[in-house]
Amino acid sequence: MGVVLQIDKSSPFIGSLLVSQYVKKDFQLTIEWGKQNLVTTEGATFSTASSICRYLTRLAPGLCLYGNSAVEKTEVDYWLQFASEKLSCDSEFDNALLYLDRTLGSASYLVGAALTLADLSVWAALRVSAAWCNAVAARRVSSGTLNWFNLIASQAEVTEAIALLPGLKVTPTEQAKKEGQRDEGKFVDLPGAEKGNVVVRFPPEASGFLHIGHAKAALLNQYYQTTFDGKLIMRFDDTNPEKEKADFEKVILEDVKMLEIVPNVYSHTSDFFDRIAELCEKLLRDGKAYVDDSPAELMKQERDAREESKHRNNPVEKNCEMWREMVKGSGYGQECCVRAKIDMKSDNGALRDPVIFRCKTDEHVKTGFRYKVYPTYDFACPIVDSLEGVTHALRTTEYHDRDDQYHWFINALGLRQVHIWEYARLNMMNTVLSKRKLTWFVSEGLVDGWDDPRMPTVRGVLRKGMTVDGLKQFIVAQGGSRSVVMMEWDKIWAFNKKVIDPVAARFTALEKEGVVPVYVAQAEVSKKMTAKHPKNAEVGEKAVWMGPNILIDAADADTLEDGQVVTFINWGNLRIVSVTRRADGKVEKVTAELNLENTDYKRTSKLTWLADLNEAPLVPTVCVAFDNLISKAVLAKDDDWKSYISRDTRHETVMLGDPELRNLKKGEIIQLQRRGYYICDEPHAPVSRYTGKASPCVLFYIPDGKEMPQPTGTKGSSAAKATESKKETKGRTAKAEVSSKASSGASTAELYALVGSQGEKVRKLKSKKADKVRLLYIEATAINRQYYGLACKVVSFECLNLQTCNSRFVPDHLAAQLFSDRL
């Protein structure tokens, strides 16, 4: 039987081509290149990637590409859907990649112990995915997934298939090795871009501090500058003398330096004021612009109603006369503006005769009182872009409606064309980025200034512990996506954690309130040197002091019992002799004895501690955690944003710090063991001769994309308050969800009892056949009918807990399919 596989030359189904190289040995297969992807046989036509792959695979059952059992075939079907939906959707890709990383963490193939159609389909989807290239470039792909990807790529049949594809000869990872650098070509899709000839610009207005949104714009431009060996112009948009201030220019230049951005050229729009005015006069003479003295409100009404101004058809002479009044800054001139004559009937409001020049008599920060007329940003931008040699103007999608206007000015003035490249602006949850609103926070004293860690300014996030590398990785990961989404701060901080975790020195600090003394019999005062980082010797060493008197957190002390063996981190195992409690049940003191010869650390609790010694006095420390200034995740247009302002957003905890904290420098990032990452905002200072007091070491908590860690059993601490609102927002109170959604069935206690029972069954069956595990899923489906919502989630992912039982017969995704009620 002969089969003809047609492949679209412009948009080939790579998965189909891969499968064809495997199955062609079992039957006669002809590949034809055309304008569509399809297989036609026996009166049936298959035109989707999944259906073509399934059909070809079933023609060669001996290869077992479709799996060896019913369960494996079901898994293959899932991965086909996963490849066509999850991996092909920008908004789903990150979660899909995490799931893929988890699946391939301890397996060589997606299904079973051999290559299947699942591997080929998923590999093909990644092979042409820009998001995959971004993830590889940003080093966000696990070693397991990369090894799997390279394993599939090394197959002879895969190599042959790729060789047939024009323009897809080399994989992103292969290209990176070949060029000795990260391959991010898929990330960059600039029209007409040529190596060495790309010129981009970053044009901030000197009216405030740069915020996180500006940082994305600046870093994207820098990215293209370096990728294409091009040029970056740093241009101040100073077209409005009312807003610009010299102080802000200095601040912005400092912010750009903090972001490690080095422009090739610095300029101002005002450098071109004379030329822009000449081009305005040209439009007036050519009848493509006119001067209008209509009041602003009337002008707005006419534009909304698409009605022409009475001055639209002014003679050229009258327009020029009115223009001269504007240039002089006369009383009448100040009532006038110049408007481009485009199309008052257009559906695009940006084309309804926009204002391009207005009269202002304010002093300009750079030119003083030399000019009385100033161009609008929309008019000046395309002109200066063209004159400065900009090849690609990066603009957020909110400017999309103005793109036609931009090109109209270029064409009407006969200037060199500039490519516009759009990307999505950065929108953050629980955040406002308006300069006006941020200024209000500062002026009202709700923050300590523009560099307050609660502010979304460049200075604020860097002071809070964000690294430039972490920010860059996040921006690169977002790439050139045009999808406008609300981003959680957790995502940025998760990228940052990858940067700081390998280099952050580990230290210890205890909450001063309620600290519990521990007397260790037979312990002598001594110290030893140990690594500051358990996996990075380059970070250096620190001194760990030991002695008979040590301190631990009250929350940890509350968990101790007589006779218990506990691991004291960086010391060893100690046996708890006695725990003395007060009348209220709180621990007053603990007595312990050395048990260092016992090196079994796997089954012991781990505690952080500090020695209470005169030889190594503890450092007074204050740990500060911050909450969001805005309590609502996403503000609607009609929301009164001031009604969602959080007032209590700074939470301080007085600590007793490791003696080593005495040497911390401002800006140094560390990890307090079992408490998270911190940046030193104020170093410890010894007793002052003027105040007679020592200044504590002030540490700001650095989020890491997860909830702020707390010592065992901690309740009500001031640091814990910083995460309470976040927990409420995300609805993580599982018991409340269970009780509300499972109200029609048994009680919550009965539900958890049933969960435990099911879990025990799974553990007993972990080494048995797939069918028995599948029966448990069917049984769990019955539970789903009785306990829906979150209850079924508990059953499917806690009760069945396939990660714990190491079963690969029926993975999480099959459970997700069996349970139709999802959160």
pLDDT mean over 27-43:
75
User: Average pLDDT, stretch 650-667?
Assistant: 95
What distances in angstroms separate CA 71 from CA 110, 604, 801, one per listed residue? 13, 40, 18
Report the percentage of the chain scoring pLDDT > 90.
Answer: 53
The two tokens of residue 501 are 């975790």
Confidence of residue 757 (pLDDT cuts 50, 70, 90): low
DSSP string, 142-198: -HHHHHHHHHHHTSHHHHHHHHTSTT--S-HHHHHHHHTS---TTT---TT--TT--
Per the model's pLDDT, the better-predicted residue between 733 and 13 turns out to be 13
More confident residue, 725 or 572: 572
Nearest C-alpha neighbor of 338 from the set 368, 312, 361: 312
Q: Span 422-440, mean pLDDT?
A: 90
Tens digits of per-residue pLDDT, 587-629?
999 999 999 999 999 889 999 999 999 999 999 999 999 999 9
Give 47's contacts (C-beta < 8 A, 6+ positions apart).
36, 37, 38
| Residue 811: pLDDT over 60 | no
**Residues forming beta bridges with residue 656, ordered by sequence position:** 510, 620
Phi, psi (rounded to 5 degrees) for 507: -135, 180
Cα–Cα dist 610/546, whole Å: 8
Q: What average pLDDT score do residues 560-572 get?
A: 95
Comparing C-alpha atoms, which of 73, 49, 81 is closest to residue 65? Answer: 73
Is residue 772 very low, low, confident or very high in pLDDT (cuts 50, 70, 90)?
Answer: very low
Burial of 820 (0-12, 13-18, 19+ CB in 10 A): exposed
Percent of the chain scoring above 70 in pLDDT: 82
Element at 474 (helix H, strand E): helix 468-478
Pick from 131-135, 415-419, 784-788 the range whose average pLDDT is largest. Answer: 415-419
Phi, psi of 793 (to 5 degrees): -65, -40
Mean of the pLDDT values across residues 76-93? 84
Please report the pLDDT score of residue 815 as a whole number. Answer: 42
Q: Which of 81-95, 207-221, 766-780 has the highest mean pLDDT?
A: 207-221
Average of per-residue pLDDT across 350-373 = 95
- Start-to-end CA distance of the chain, whole Å, equals 49
Cross-strand pairs, 509: 657
Which pLDDT score, from 0 to 100, does residue 750 have? 55
Considering the chain, what is the average pLDDT of its residues?
Answer: 82
797 band by pLDDT with thresholds 50, 70 and 90: very low
Dihedral sign of CA atoms 140, 144, 147, 151 in order = negative
Which of 152-156, 557-561, 767-771 shows the lowest mean pLDDT across its residues? 767-771
Angle at 37 between CA 31 and CA 41, to 5 degrees: 65
Give the Cα-Cα-Cα angle 218, 191, 131 (nearest 5 degrees).
65
Of 651 and 746, the one with more pLDDT: 651
pLDDT per position as a tens digit, 448-492 = 999 999 999 999 999 999 999 999 888 877 766 777 778 889 989
Range with lowest mean pLDDT among 52-56, 480-484, 547-551, 568-572: 480-484
The sign of the CA dihedral 243, 246, 248, 252 is positive
Q: Which one is predicted more confidently, 146 or 393?
A: 393
